Amino acid sequence: MSDKRPIDNLGDFISAVAGAAMTKAFTNLDKFDVDLKKVGSNFGNFGESMRAACETGVALHELDLTEANIRNVAVLGPDDVAITRGDRAAIVVEGDEGAANAIRFQLEDTKLSVMRLGGRRQNGSATVRITLPRLRKIAVAGSASVQCDTITGKKARISIGGSGSVHCEEIEVEQLKIRIMGSGSVTAKGRVGTLSLKMAGSGNVAMAGVSVDTTNVSMAGSGNASFASDGDVSGSMAGSGNVTVKGCARCAVRGVGSGRLVCEPA
């Protein structure tokens, strides 16, 4: 039988969650990662910030990948991006001519930013196909859709601001951080040693096919998350969001609101 536990309505916890504790947990969500600092920390001015970033970006034929050691990919805007593992870095842009010609790139150290002039789906749609030897971080700002075949290694991070989505066929990492602000979504399969999950808004993390050893969850809003675990699950929730854990996990998530922690057999 499923072990369904309503969130504890603790009076002394309300102020902690609704006040300083949750504020501290989410004040830096809009910063996400160094990958997105180029477009500014205020998503209210995202359009203006992205246009400024595009001015410093270059078209694909101007991008030199000869010595590139790309490990982090940031997608800014509405376009689709597919990332696959390969021996050397390579990029192909497909789609409507107007949209493809508007794609811009910015390469800084190990970080590649992908953006579109104008920032909207005008002039059709485009798909950017990226080949990399190693992928460690994915950051999405806007409505972009990112697909990757595999992420492996010690540490990885997925960050979404807006309504974008990230889908990974296989994740095998020791530590994974997921940060979502807005209605973004993450889907994946695989295995993770330690998962740190922070969500603010109505996002969705569908990782029932990911086995996690240890998890810490911080959720504010109406988002939903699911994953598999036989280990420890801890954290705090505020709002109407739900967390579903499949397996024999030891769950200790506190919070306020109508949200629920659901622990059920796999």
Task: Write out the chain's pLDDT in tens, 266 residues.
Answer: 444 444 444 434 433 433 343 344 344 443 444 334 443 334 444 445 555 555 678 999 999 999 999 999 999 888 999 999 999 999 999 999 988 999 999 999 999 999 988 766 667 889 999 999 999 999 998 899 999 999 999 999 999 999 999 999 999 999 999 999 999 999 999 999 999 999 999 999 999 999 999 999 999 999 999 999 999 999 889 999 999 999 999 988 887 888 888 888 86
3-state helix, strand, coil in the chain (%, to 5): 15, 55, 25
Tell me the CA distances in angstroms from 142 to 42, 70, 81, 156, 211, one per residue in order.
13, 21, 13, 21, 29
How many domains would you assign to the chain? 1
In a domain, 184, yes or no: yes
In a domain, 249, yes or no: yes
In a domain, 17, yes or no: no
Which pLDDT score, from 0 to 100, does residue 256 have? 80
The boundaries of the domain holding residue 261 are 150-265
Cα(239)–Cα(260) distance, integer angstroms: 9
Whole-model pTM: value is 0.83
Which pLDDT score, from 0 to 100, does residue 121 have? 63
Which pLDDT score, from 0 to 100, does residue 260 have? 86
In a domain, 183, yes or no: yes
Nearest to 39 by CA among 58, 59, 54, 27: 54
Q: The CATH number of the domain where 226 resides is what?
A: 2.160.20.120
In a domain, 257, yes or no: yes
In a domain, 217, yes or no: yes
Which pLDDT score, from 0 to 100, does residue 53 have? 58
In a domain, 254, yes or no: yes
Half-sphere exposure of 170 (CA within 13 A, CB side): 7
Q: Per-residue pLDDT tens for 58-99?
A: 999 999 999 999 999 999 888 999 999 999 999 999 999 988
In a domain, 18, yes or no: no
Nearest to 70 by CA among 29, 35, 95: 35
